[in-house]
Amino acid sequence: MIERTLAILKPDCVRKNLTGQVIAQIEKAGFKILGIKKIRLTKDTAGAFYAVHKGRAFYEGLVEFISSGPCVPIALEKENAIADFRALIGATDPAEAAPGTVRKDFADNKGENIVHGSDSAENGKLEVGFFFSEKELIELI
């Protein structure tokens, strides 16, 4: 089934000038880019995006980090996008990520792990909608 997922190239990815390399890996893996932009999240916007994690030990650090510099949200589409993207990026902790995954190759630690990926088809739709209006998404057939 065709699914949408949201990727966010996090501030560490942008700071390390890896956005082009990560986008190239995403495209090579067969994902279609429907929308892409570079933004700087405020703490309030970051808190709203990660609201599902509010109250967890890592929430404050996550909000602080994602709002610490520019990031690049990308709306992606592909057959089995959720599972395929999570396989492409690897485990949250780069020390546990498989060789050849984005996080294994580029991330420094669990807190600064280069990229966000939606964890379900439902969240993929919601997360894409958080950053992109339907008018901004370009369907590629």
Give me the catalytic one of 3, 116, 117, 132: 116
| Separation between Cα atoms, residue 67 and residue 63, nearest integer Å | 6
Going from the C-alpha of 40 to that of each of 87, 127, 131, the distances in angstroms are 27, 16, 12
Please state which CATH number belongs to domain 2-41+71-136.
3.30.70.141
Q: Could you confirm whether 53 is annotated as catalytic?
A: no
Domain ranges of the chain: 2-41+71-136
**Digits of tens for pLDDT over the chain (141 positions)?**
899 999 999 999 999 999 999 999 999 999 999 999 999 999 999 999 999 889 999 999 999 999 999 999 999 999 999 999 999 999 999 999 999 999 999 999 999 999 999 999 999 999 999 999 999 998 765
The residue type at 134? E
Under 8 Å between Cβ of 66 and 60? no
